[in-house]
C-alpha cells in the first residue's frame, strides 16, 4: 500500500515523493520475511511503520538503508532508483538512520559523537585532515559549529563535553538522532526510537520527531508505541507477516479490524 492512499493501491513514482517502494520481497532460507511490499513516503512527511514483533519492520529498514539486499522489487529515492546501492552510496544520497539498539562510540564526548555523523559534509579527505592543513582546521571548526546547532535542536547542547556513555538512557536516544541529523539527511530512518523509554522521555522524542517536518526532512519511523505513531505520524503502514495490511492516517488505520486482529488477535 502507498502513503496517502487508504484504498490500498500502489502510488506512482511522483517527483513529490521522497521514497517509493514497489514489490519489495525478502526471504531468509525458506522463510518469507517481506512479500511484495509497496509504500510511498511523501517529502516533508513523518511516516510510521508499525506491526507486531516479527512483522518485518526492521528488515524493511535494513533494505531501505542498504544494509541488506532485497530479493525482488525496486526502491526510488527522490526520483532516483537506488535498490542496487549499498549503505555508503545511500548515505551520500542523503539517507541516515538510527538503530533499535543504541550504537555509541565509547570514549567520545557528546559533541564528538555528533561530529562523527558529519562525514558526508566533509570536503577535505581524512588523510589531509590529519595533516592539520588550514582548510582541514576550518572544516573541523565548521563541523563543530554544526554539531552544536544539532545538539541545541535536540536539547543536549549543555552536555556537549560529557562522555556519551554517561548520559541517561533517554538522552542517549536523543544523541543517536542528533548524530543522524548531523549530515543534513533528506531521508531519516528511525528504528524504535523510544524503545525502553518511560512516558516522559518518549514524549520528548515525539516532539523532536514531529519538529523535523520544519526541516524539510522526510522521516520513516518504525515504532511499537502506537500512541507516538498517532501523535507524530502523518500516515502509518501496518505490517503483519511481511505484508502491508493497512496504510492510512493513524486514527483510521488503527481502528481497522485487520490491524486490531494483528495486534490483539481479535
Domain CATH code at residue 32: 3.40.50.300
Strand 72-77 and strand 17-28: the pairing is antiparallel
As a whole number, the mean pLDDT across the chain is: 88
Judgement on whether residues 62 and 123 belong to the same structural domain of the protein: no
- Name the least confident of 22-36, 125-139, 237-251: 125-139
Judgement on whether residues 77 and 119 belong to the same structural domain of the protein: no
pLDDT in tens, 33-75: 999 999 999 998 999 999 998 899 999 999 999 999 999 999 9
The model's pTM: 0.87
Beta carbons within 8 Å of 161's beta carbon, 6+ residues apart: 109, 110, 111
- Between 131 and 90, where is the model more confident? 90
pLDDT in tens, 78-102: 999 998 999 999 999 999 999 999 9
Judgement on whether residues 170 and 202 belong to the same structural domain of the protein: no
Report the pLDDT value the prediction gives residue 132, as an integer from 0 to 100.
Answer: 65
**Confidence grade of residue 10 (pLDDT, cut at 50, 70, 90):** very low
**Confidence grade of residue 214 (pLDDT, cut at 50, 70, 90):** confident
Last residue of a domain, one of 149, 184, 219: 184
- Between 116 and 11, where is the model more confident? 116
Report the pLDDT value the prediction gives residue 120, as an integer from 0 to 100.
Answer: 60
Residue 134 predicted with pLDDT over 50:
yes
Total domains in the chain come to: 2
Judgement on whether residues 88 and 197 belong to the same structural domain of the protein: yes
pLDDT in tens, 172-191: 999 999 999 999 999 999 99
Last residue of a domain, one of 184, 201, 220: 184
Task: Please indicate, yes or no, if residue 6 is contained in any of the structural domains.
Answer: no
Task: Please indicate, yes or no, if residue 238 is contained in any of the structural domains.
Answer: yes
Strand 46-50 and strand 235-240: the pairing is parallel
Residue from 223, 237, 217 nearest 173 by CA: 223
Give me the residue label for grid cell 512527511.
45
Residue from 140, 157, 137 nearest 148 by CA: 157
Report the pLDDT value the prediction gives residue 122, as an integer from 0 to 100.
Answer: 58
Report the pLDDT value the prediction gives residue 131, as an integer from 0 to 100.
Answer: 53
Report the pLDDT value the prediction gives residue 264, as an integer from 0 to 100.
Answer: 72
Judgement on whether residues 176 and 191 belong to the same structural domain of the protein: no
Domain enclosing residue 225, as ranges: 16-94+187-265
Measured at the CA of 162, the angle between CA 159 and CA 163, to 5 degrees, comes to 135
Judgement on whether residues 232 and 176 belong to the same structural domain of the protein: no
Measured at the CA of 226, the angle between CA 203 and CA 43, to 5 degrees, comes to 80
Task: Please indicate, yes or no, if residue 9 is contained in any of the structural domains.
Answer: no
Judgement on whether residues 67 and 123 belong to the same structural domain of the protein: no
- Name the least confident of 48-52, 101-105, 118-122: 118-122
Amino acid at each position: 500500500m502507498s502513503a496517502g492512499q487508504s484504498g490500498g493501491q500502489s502510488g506512482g513514482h511522483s517527483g513529490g515523493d521522497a521514497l517509493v517502494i514497489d514489490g519489495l520481497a525478502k526471504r531468509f532460507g525458506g522463510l518469507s520475511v517481506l512479500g511484495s511490499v509497496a509504500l510511498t513516503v511523501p517529502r516533508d512527511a513523518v511516516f510510521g511503520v508499525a506491526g507486531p514483533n516479527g512483522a518485518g519492520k526492521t528488515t524493511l529498514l535494513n533494505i531501505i538503508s542498504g544494509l541488506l539486499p532485497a530479493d525482488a522489487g525496486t526502491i526510488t529515492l527522490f526520483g532516483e532508483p537506488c535498490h542496487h546501492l549499498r549503505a555508503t552510496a545511500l548515505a551520500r544520497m542523503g539517507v541516515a538512520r538510527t538503530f533499535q539498539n543504541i550504537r555509541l562510540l565509547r570514549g567520545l564526548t557528546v559533541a564528538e559523537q555528533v561530529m562523527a555523523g558529519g562525514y558526508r559534509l566533509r570536503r577535505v579527505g581524512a588523510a589531509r585532515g590529519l595533516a592539520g592543513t588550514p582548510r582541514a582546521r576550518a572544516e573541523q571548526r565548521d563541523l563543530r559549529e554544526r554539531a552544536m546547532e544539532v545538539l541545541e535542536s535536540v536539547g543536549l547542547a549543555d552536555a556537549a563535553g560529557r562522555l556519551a556513555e554517561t548520559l541517561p538512557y533517554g538522552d542517549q536516544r536523543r544523541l543517536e538522532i542528533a548524530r543522524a541529523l548531523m549530515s543534513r539527511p533528506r531521508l531519516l530512518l528511525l528504528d524504535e526510537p523510544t524503545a525502553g523509554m518511560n512516558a516522559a522521555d518518549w514524549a520528548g522524542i515525539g516532539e523532536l520527531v514531529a519538529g523535523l517536518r520544519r526541516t524539510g526532512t522526510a522521516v520513516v519511523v518504525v515504532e511499537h508505541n502506537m500512541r507516538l505513531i498517532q501523535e507524530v505520524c502523518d500516515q502509518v503502514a501496518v505490517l503483519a507477516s511481511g505484508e502491508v495490511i493497512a496504510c492510512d492516517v493513524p486514527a483510521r488505520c488503527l481502528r481497522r479490524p485487520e490491524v486490531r486482529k494483528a495486534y490483539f488477535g481479535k
